[in-house]
A and B are shown apart, each in its own frame.
Chain A
Amino acid sequence: MFWDQAWLAFAVFFETAQWFVFPIAILAGLALLPRRRVFLQSLVLTTFAAFALKLFFQQDRPCVVEQALVACPPDFGLPSIHSALSGVFIMASLGTRYAWVVVPIGMLVAYSRIFLNVHSTEQVIAGFALAAIAYLATWLHVQRAQEKKK
């Protein structure tokens, strides 16, 4: 019973406090994680791409048809921005000891979107795919630019 309530509180927290939580998480990421330039650039790229893809595909959220555990967000569902941003944090934490914290939290945030019925599994996976592409492409690009400077 306690874990059910705790899990629900966690899921609702990341829905209702997202505009507060993500900026703090980004600042923490910039302070603690390596490859800061890659992290910031891929965050920006992922965010813009996610919003653009939402407008392009205009795929409804599952809560449009079946009630969600929170108020159904008014925008479209594909991809999940929560899971996309979590994916960037996960990629950025690779190689650090913070990954052991960031990865479980990121995965739980992504799964919470399905649990709340504000995203489908496919929409959450799409968010991760976008994050992986954006981070890997940015990482390669920055690394090659640095090698050229040398």
Chain B
Amino acid sequence: MTDTRTFEAARQWFHILFGGFLLAGALTLGPAHTRLGYFVALLIGLAILQFKMRGHSLPLIDAVLQRFERRNALFPGQGALMYFAGALFVLSFAPFDFALAAIAIVAFGDGFATLVGLYGKWPLPWNPRKKTEGLLAFIFSAAAISSLVLPAGHAITYSIILGILETIDLPVDDNLLLPVAATFLYYAVPL
């Protein structure tokens, strides 16, 4: 259990820090170059996946995957690919500021929810596999980071809705679900 927690904690810190790095880059590059950058990153990820699925060894990539990839991943680099696909979707279909907020919510909210939830004590009534502490961590961290680009009230509202959505066990990866849901929310629940 301790090994699983340690592995998952390291994974989530990597997720958070990597997300922070990408956000900083996006704020520097602006909308058009960010979109293009994420698109190129997705293509590079697909190229790496092609090499891996054809049985080729890529030492540096293999080391990162060994360290951070979940054991039940459907394919190598699943988490990263889904993260970039989800981010590119919200960047393509929502205004830039909101897209950055959604990406920040996925990176920080999801990351801190898992980190804190690993050590949480109070299961959620609607999903005992997840912890109340994790949900609160999601909301607070997501609201804090997304309020850098959105009005505070909007940041809190979206963080609460997406945080609750994240606690529901749906058959879709959070890295895909949350950005698509955020995009839908932006137009369905105009604030």
Contacts and interface: CB of A to CB of B under 8 A. Distances in A.
Interface of A: 53, 56-57, 78-79, 90-91, 94-95, 97, 99, 103, 121-122, 125-126, 128-130, 132-133, 136-137, 139-141, 143-144
Contacts of A137: 172-173, 176
Contact of B50 (A79, A95, A122, A125): A95
Contacts of A121: 32, 36
A79 B171 contact: no
Nearest to B52: A95
B96 to A, nearest CB: 11
Contacts of A79: 92
Interface string B82-97: 1001101101110000
Contacts, number: 72
Contacts of A125: 35-36, 39, 88, 92
B74 A91 contact: no
A99 B47 CA distance: 10
B51 to A, nearest CB: 10
B46 A90 contact: yes
B54 interface: yes
Interface in B38-57: 39, 42, 46, 49-50, 53-54
A116 B60 CA distance: 40
For chain B, what secondary structure do more than half of its interface residues adopt (helix, strand, loop), or is it mixed?
helix
B57 to A, nearest CB: 15
B81 interface: yes
B180 interface: yes
A121 to B, nearest CB: 7
A24 to B, nearest CB: 24
B74 A139 contact: yes
Given A53-B93, A140-B74, A141-B172, A129 B88 contact: yes
Interface residues of B, number: 26
B68 to A, nearest CB: 18
A136 B35 contact: no
Interface of B: 32, 35-36, 39, 42, 46, 49-50, 53-54, 74, 81-82, 85-86, 88-89, 91-93, 171-173, 176, 180, 187
Q: Which 10 residue pairs across A and B have the least CB separation, nearest first?
A: A95-B53, A126-B92, A132-B85, A129-B88, A129-B89, A129-B92, A125-B39, A133-B89, A99-B50, A137-B176
Contacts of B54: 95, 97
Contacts of B46: 90-91, 94, 103
A136 B53 contact: no
Which of A126, A139, A141, A143: most chain B Cβ within 10 A? A126
Contacts of B180: 133
B172 A140 contact: yes
A141 B35 contact: no
Given A125-B35, A132-B89, A133-B89, 18 more contacts: A94-B46, A95-B49, A103-B46, A121-B36, A122-B92, A129-B39, A129-B89, A129-B92, A130-B89, A130-B92, A132-B85, A133-B176, A133-B180, A136-B176, A137-B173, A140-B171, A140-B173, A143-B74
